[in-house]
Amino acid sequence: MSTEEEKLIETAMNQLAFSYAPYSDFKVGAAIETMDGEIYGGCNIENAAFGPGNCAERTAIFKAVSEGKRHFKRIAIVGGKAGCVRDYCPPCGVCRQVMREFCSPNFQIILAKNSKDYKVMTLNELFPESFGPDQLA
């Protein structure tokens, strides 16, 4: 594993501490890397009304976009009950759609249990035949 991947996964793991998940107790951390090497972290944020909550992946993406970043290289995602990561934590459908808005089909999604146990997939593998900005061009 490269030092960059390890740093990205560790950033995602560190985001678990900031997760606000009082209802599900399922904590998720994410870290997205821009094409110029900047890293933005995110955690899931639940809400008593459920719908207004936000996933870790979208939190990281929205943080980056709100600071002018629009081009991304990869994202690392970790998660588990009570913040204990035991298995891979793939992004939900809404997060995949948001990734499709800002990322290429070859965008890398790193699903990690820790910095040594992970797998890398592309957005196209997780979200084939997706609807995106190019359909509206």
Determine which one of 57, 67, 101, 129 is catalytic.
57
Residue 121, judged by CB atoms within 10 A of its CB (0-12, 13-18, 19+), counts as: middle
Based on the residue annotation, tell me whether 33 is a catalytic residue of this protein: no
Q: What is the DSSP string of 98-134?
A: HHHHHS-TT-EEEEESSSSSEEEEEHHHHSTT---GG
Six token digits for residue 54: 């936000």
Longest dimension (CA), the chain: 43
Q: Are 33 and 42 in contact (CB under 8 A)?
A: no
Question: Hey, which residues are catalytic here?
Answer: 57
